[in-house]
Structure 1
């Protein structure tokens, strides 16, 4: 891996940097580029959002179509929450990224570098798979909508707000048949921006959480392989045996505190946004399930709504899985102490281990607004909540 001063030029973080740069949200971009890109992206997104709201007003007397028009508006709201959170916490995110770069420049033994590299590769793999999945699901809507237009079928739409080929209901108060292609391009650009916002912000969260897990893994290695760590740490070469162990434990305490602070910072940045995201996702899944159970459901609509629900389930599962990763890696520090050669250390050195044990007895977490801890058990609870809201919506409808 590239160990230059800018680690984000390396293959492990390059995709994340490019995605955020496309939105003008990469913290290390030049300010004039950030502003220019963001203003352009925001203009396209906001204008398309307004047309969707106007379409909802136009279609307010048709309940079924209102549900259909609300779904993309919820996706827009999700994107607004994500991008607003990044803008509001730009300084904090920049600090975390600088912390990542510092860790890559300050590794002490070879195994630390290997662990950082291993987890960075894991983050890159998840980023690629997540981006591929979201773009695939996101492109399915425009693709299914435009097929009749491509094959040349004489198909007409029942609604003026959604001509054939349009993925969503929009209202421009112009003749959409006359300005068909300009408006269609505007909609597709807005769709690509929404997808990029979701992918860029979520994958940035992924690499930060994965790096946090790497920090805990480094501590666990130093505690489980005390002798090997001491032998590889050149800074301890000229110290007495007991002093070597003492310095090693001091290093572990400092690294453990850094990892906990990193996890707390990630938690503070994303807790409120995650709360809003989960609420929106729950409502989106309930609404999608409601649309998928209508009597007028066609195979095309079944594919569309099925893919929509699946994408939401996967997105929600990823967030809960990441929360579980933080819990597992921080919690394992406690048990790692018992696996090392702690019994060979002096009483003075062993007392340092009690500090780590006490601090790691309460694992780090990722929460939804300090209300619910994100974990695999909470995933099932959230899905059950979606099913309950679906039942309520179905009874109201």
Structure 2
């Protein structure tokens, strides 16, 4: 497994080590590493909330601060979840290793390697996307400094933080220290969000691979060449192949159920925080475009919205893949020559059929099930939010106009 891990899961291991979340390294220095990263993110959230102490409260200030607090809070919660569930993360990795060792057939190994290659490609895509997002945010934040170097003016352009914060110090004097705090916190949050997401996707890809292997075994268990064999040897071969299919199917179900139970409660909280974050960022984007005409700020919020939607899409797409693989296994079992097997072997096949009548899903109980249908519902809610927001805007403008004419 070490060679396989280095080949397919090396980047994921590097990301988790960067965050101090690699479950096989829990030394004293790693604890300091995690404490330092958590402190940077939490102090950044605190610096944003302290604005309410020194600045007069208004609804626009509240919404602008919350639109940036919630994404930071989302990343810090995901970071904390992986710290709390470090043992479960390690146990899931151990099961992946043991599943690889169970595979003996070359074709089965090729199936699992195919899913591992797809996961590696997905990881590279996520890393490129994160680097692009980070580059755009850094450029937007450092734009005044860059312009001062490229196109200098008589007076240097002021550098302001995108995030509204309060450190109780002279902001002009300590602007670079505050900027460094913001960039480090943004790096940790972005790495935590996508690093942990990639790890979850690794588990989901592996679960899909197990279902694919089970489908392969059940499709090739009852072959005409085996049925032509007479006597107890045929029964032995059929029974042995069906048992192998049932074993891998059971391991896939146990792996998926353990994955869901580990993160179910925590991800229920994340769903609420994520939807709130998307709503606040949508509101701020519309404000920046329609009222303030701040292109720089609108670009940042547009990037946040796109990132939210991409994250939601892949999360729901992963859940849909699990469901589709479970359905595919059920169809492979039902369409096979199960009726040609001995009675005691048919009882084993019946076990897979009974399990297949209930869809395999990833989600938070009955609160939310990850699927493309769920993603479509989110898009519908976003569309309704935009329509309501525009209606409210025009009503407010009309009321102001009528009040102006009345005076």
Q: TM-score, normalised by structure 2?
A: 0.86
- Give 1:21 shift: 1.0
Deviation track 1:38-90 (CA, whole Å, cap 9, x = no partner) reads 12212222222221111244345243233222222101110122122212221
* Residue of 312, 315, 325 corresponding to 1:329: 325
* Residue of 250, 256, 275 corresponding to 1:282: 275
Give the number of equivalent residue pairs.
381
Aligned equivalents of 2:216 and 2:60: distance in 1? 57
Q: Cα RMSD over matched residues? A: 2.5
Question: Does residue 369 of structure 2 align to residue 378 of structure 1?
Answer: no
Question: Does residue 263 of structure 2 align to residue 270 of structure 1?
Answer: yes
- Name the structure 1 match of 2:51: 55
Aligned equivalents of 1:59 and 1:173: distance in 2? 12
Question: Does residue 218 of structure 2 align to residue 223 of structure 1?
Answer: yes
- Give 1:279 shift: 1.9
- Give 1:175 shift: 1.1
- Cα gap change, 1:248 to 1:229, in 2 (>3 Å): farther
- Name the structure 2 match of 1:172: 167
- Name the structure 2 match of 1:206: 201
Aligned equivalents of 2:259 and 2:321: distance in 1? 13
Question: Does residue 18 of structure 2 align to residue 25 of structure 1?
Answer: no
Aligned equivalents of 2:298 and 2:183: distance in 1? 22
- Cα gap change, 1:81 to 1:190, in 2 (>3 Å): same
- Name the structure 2 match of 1:64: 60
- Name the structure 2 match of 1:192: 187
* Residue of 111, 118, 121 corresponding to 1:122: 118
Aligned equivalents of 1:214 and 1:59: distance in 2? 54
- Give 1:381 shift: 1.2
- Cα gap change, 1:392 to 1:32, in 2 (>3 Å): farther
For the 8 Å contact 2:123–2:198, the answer to whether it is kept is yes
Q: Which moved more, 1:135-144 or 1:355-364?
A: 135-144
Deviation track 1:127-173 (CA, whole Å, cap 9, x = no partner) reads 2212322342244233212112211166899xxxxx62523111111
In the alignment, structure 2 segments of 5+ residues that lack a partner are 227-231, 397-407
For the 8 Å contact 2:217–2:244, the answer to whether it is kept is no
For the 8 Å contact 1:283–1:389, the answer to whether it is kept is no
| Alignment map for 1:205-354 (pairs within 5 Å) | 205-226=200-221, 240-294=233-287, 295-354=291-350
For the 8 Å contact 2:334–2:353, the answer to whether it is kept is no
- Cα gap change, 1:241 to 1:85, in 2 (>3 Å): same
